[in-house]
Structure 1
Amino acid sequence: MKRALFSPYEVKGVTLKNRIVMSPMCMYSCDTEDGMVRPFHHTHYESRAVGQVGLITVEATAVTAQGRISTRDLGIWNDKHILGLQEIVTRVQSHGAKAAIQLAHAGRKAVVDGPILAPSAIPFDDESKIPEEMSIDDIHATVEAFRLGVLRAKKAGFDIIEIHAAHGYLINEFLSPLTNKRTDDYGGSRENRYRFLKEILSAVTSEWDGPLFVRISADEYTDGGNTMEDFIQFAKWMKVQGVDLVDCSTGAVVPAKISVYPGYQVRHAESIRKGASIPTAAVGMITSGVQAEEILRNERADLIYLARELLRNPYWPRDAAKELGISIESPVQYERGWQQ
């Protein structure tokens, strides 16, 4: 019996061999503040490709030094970063997986020396640094930084680019009325709050005609924040701009209490998929092959993003296949033990 989880997925000429995606997860493993790829990154990403994950997404990679979540984050703000990222791509692709990269700017959640930027001068919490409200020049410079980041990602050979517009980082801060209190063209109405992302997507697609994903936080868990109606409209606008898939996470926009349970974010992916008629990815406490198969078979999402489960088990696809009663191709080097 053919299983949805192990069926291929094609987007703009790029074919994933299955629907299993390694979610972008910050590893905080740069040895210095230069944002360069280290040996750990090679091992970390290649091992999941060996494990037969269909798409490996490199962690949030900063388009400016100022926009790092931490000083140990990967960077793509300089051409010197290309070679190391290219090595990750080569290693991942050599095992039949595709490689994606998530381009990011941390905004007010950056923990770095010097000033940090946000749409409004509101700190994340009482212990966080107060950010500077971005000027129009700051906004334009950041949009340009995303464009240049895309050019570098393209040179590194990535198959897919994902824009990080979730988890309370800069783009998310512009989208949310909880964090965006501007009174100019970038604040106020839903359309104005979307303007920053709109300009970034325009800059990205001016340089990139390959598959383009966007991660959002589709629930802010706080009164006065964006509603599902807002997220569906954002997704419709993104679709018009050439976005191929919305990666649906939730939370972290403002401090909030979140009730977590298996598959707790899947309903958001399902609502946006149906409401905006756009492919989505589900993520969040998806731990078994049966659970992932149910999501796909019932057309609640198109891809399954795994985070902590792949930290625990780089060979999760093998275990999921066994659970679903099918065999999948094994790495040649591991054939003696893979099918047992």
Structure 2
Amino acid sequence: MIRASLFDPIRIGSLPLRNRIVVAPMCQYTAEQGRMTDWHTIHLGNLALSGAGMLVVEASAVLPEGRISYGDVGLWDDATEAAMARVLDAVRRYSDIPVAIQLAHAGRKASCAKPWDGGAQLPPDHALGWQTVAPSAIPFAETDHPPVALDRGGMARIRDAFGEAARRAARLGYDAVQVHSAHGYLLHQFLSPLSNRREDDYGGSLENRMRFPLEVFDAVRGAFPAEKPVMLRVSGTDWMEGGWDVEQTAAYARALEARGCAAIDVSSGGLHARQQIPVGPGYQVPLARAVRQAVGMPVSAVGLITDFDQAEAIVGTGDADMVCLARTILYDPRWPWHAAAHLGARVKAADQFLRCQPRQFPNLFVAE
């Protein structure tokens, strides 16, 4: 059997993963008042049987006004926690894949229609909309209703909500938490000088712009069990002159690692409506490589990783320690199986699936 780096085990803090493939968090816009539905049971149950090393549950808002859309999942009260518990119980009944949750607040990019309904922001006077908040009163798009600039009390409320959501995640038995600090959402809005024009201790210098995101990370780390990892997703660049860039990302990653961050997933963009992204296969991998050179914790690459040899090369050459798959694994929920067959590796499969092992790959499946 040929050794494939993609299928080497890895540890995120104390959490062991069977391989280096992570199912990225993907919003489904199918929650009801923040509560997961039967769709999430089907969706997450399917991905839990993919053979990946870890499954990350979609961005879950820590407050109702932190949702991207009215269809977003939340984890802010007993009702949202109970709905999530029902889904997780079903998933865990038939899979032992480590499951993490991404905790989020959309900031000025909240209060939007569902993507298949156009995705435009809904103003506060819309029946399904609400007033957004941000570090500064600067809208994402010129046509958006301006956000309200957060005062210290509002920031404290959001910070504490992240901590409370982490405590709920612990009660639900999640194996890890990921803090969403990417894609132009609230914590990214504080990081970027394009969206953060504050003149207090939370704006201006890099140290000041990192202050609130780091306070949120500390709140999550302090509320989640010490033996379990807390991770973070970041946009490595705004793809805009004068914006957040990879050098600042590296500094942010070092500060996070010093506070106990166990792993970082490097994406990009989402902060500015006029971003110019050079989209192509693996276009964000150089960002992950730069961050990996700056820290000792595991680093994930994400974005247009679709080919088996491409993923193997990313991990095998050390550009990143893991690859995160989103649209790729929606299109092919058995991508890890197919990658293992292609690379001559082995992959975990449920007992109910063992009979489908291809004759040409008699050693593909590992049943445990």
TM interval, short-chain normalised: over 0.9
Pairwise CA distance, 1:318? 0.8
> Which residue in the other structure is 1:56 paired with?
55
Deviation digits for residues 200-226 of structure 1, max 9, x if unmatched? 111112112211111011011111112
Q: Secondary structure at the match of 1:259?
A: coil
In the alignment, the residues of structure 2 paired with residue 327 and residue 228 of structure 1 have an alpha-carbon distance, to the nearest angstrom, of: 35
1:329 and 2:352 are equivalent in the alignment: no
In the alignment, the residues of structure 2 paired with residue 329 and residue 303 of structure 1 have an alpha-carbon distance, to the nearest angstrom, of: 17
> Which residue in the other structure is 1:95 paired with?
95
Superposed, 1:270-289 pairs within 5 Å as: 270-289=289-308
- Tell whether the 8 Å contact from 1:86 to 1:157 is kept in structure 2 after alignment: no
Pairwise CA distance, 1:18? 1.2
The one-letter amino acid of 2:189's match is E
Pairwise CA distance, 1:328? 2.5
Taking structure 2 as the reference length, the TM-score comes to 0.89
> Which residue in the other structure is 1:108 paired with?
108
Pairwise CA distance, 1:321? 0.9
1:182 to 195, 198, 203: 198
Q: Secondary structure at the match of 1:234?
A: helix
2:252 to 234, 243, 247: 234
> Which residue in the other structure is 1:140 paired with?
156
- Tell whether the 8 Å contact from 2:12 to 2:263 is kept in structure 1 after alignment: no
In the alignment, the residues of structure 2 paired with residue 245 and residue 305 of structure 1 have an alpha-carbon distance, to the nearest angstrom, of: 12
Deviation digits for residues 288-334 of structure 1, max 9, x if unmatched? 22111111111111111001011101111111111112343332111
- Tell whether the 8 Å contact from 1:233 to 1:276 is kept in structure 2 after alignment: no
1:195 and 2:214 are equivalent in the alignment: no
> Which residue in the other structure is 2:309 paired with?
290
- Tell whether the 8 Å contact from 2:7 to 2:346 is kept in structure 1 after alignment: no
- Tell whether the 8 Å contact from 2:35 to 2:74 is kept in structure 1 after alignment: yes
The one-letter amino acid of 1:102's match is Q
The one-letter amino acid of 1:3's match is A
The one-letter amino acid of 2:312's match is E
Q: Which runs of 5+ in 1 are unaligned?
A: none
> Which residue in the other structure is 1:44 paired with?
43
Taking structure 1 as the reference length, the TM-score comes to 0.96
The one-letter amino acid of 1:149's match is A
1:164 and 2:180 are equivalent in the alignment: yes
In the alignment of these two chains, the number of paired residues is 338
Pairwise CA distance, 1:190? 0.3
Pairwise CA distance, 1:277? 3.2
Pairwise CA distance, 1:237? 0.2
In the alignment, the residues of structure 2 paired with residue 14 and residue 86 of structure 1 have an alpha-carbon distance, to the nearest angstrom, of: 21
The one-letter amino acid of 2:141's match is D
> Which residue in the other structure is 1:307 paired with?
326
- Tell whether the 8 Å contact from 1:22 to 1:53 is kept in structure 2 after alignment: yes
Q: Secondary structure at the match of 1:275?
A: coil
Deviation digits for residues 81-126 of structure 1, max 9, x if unmatched? 2222223333444422110100000000001623210000000011
In the alignment, the residues of structure 2 paired with residue 24 and residue 267 of structure 1 have an alpha-carbon distance, to the nearest angstrom, of: 21
Pairwise CA distance, 1:4? 1.4
In the alignment, the residues of structure 2 paired with residue 319 and residue 185 of structure 1 have an alpha-carbon distance, to the nearest angstrom, of: 50
The one-letter amino acid of 1:118's match is A
1:79 and 2:97 are equivalent in the alignment: no
- Tell whether the 8 Å contact from 2:136 to 2:195 is kept in structure 1 after alignment: yes
- Tell whether the 8 Å contact from 2:63 to 2:75 is kept in structure 1 after alignment: yes
- Tell whether the 8 Å contact from 2:4 to 2:344 is kept in structure 1 after alignment: no
> Which residue in the other structure is 2:116 paired with?
none
> Which residue in the other structure is 1:17 paired with?
18
- Tell whether the 8 Å contact from 2:17 to 2:54 is kept in structure 1 after alignment: yes
Superposed, 1:111-130 pairs within 5 Å as: 111=111, 113-130=129-146
Higher alpha-carbon deviation: 162-171 or 286-295: 286-295
- Tell whether the 8 Å contact from 2:182 to 2:235 is kept in structure 1 after alignment: yes
> Which residue in the other structure is 2:166 paired with?
150
In the alignment, the residues of structure 2 paired with residue 222 and residue 10 of structure 1 have an alpha-carbon distance, to the nearest angstrom, of: 35
Q: Which runs of 5+ in 2 are unaligned?
A: 112-127, 360-368
In the alignment, the residues of structure 1 paired with residue 324 and residue 334 of structure 2 have an alpha-carbon distance, to the nearest angstrom, of: 14
Q: Secondary structure at the match of 1:177?
A: coil
Q: Secondary structure at the match of 1:140?
A: helix
Deviation digits for residues 236-281 of structure 1, max 9, x if unmatched? 0000111011110000110112121110001111100102333210
- Tell whether the 8 Å contact from 1:92 to 1:99 is kept in structure 2 after alignment: no
The one-letter amino acid of 1:135's match is D
The one-letter amino acid of 2:178's match is E
> Which residue in the other structure is 1:261 paired with?
280
Pairwise CA distance, 1:337? 1.3
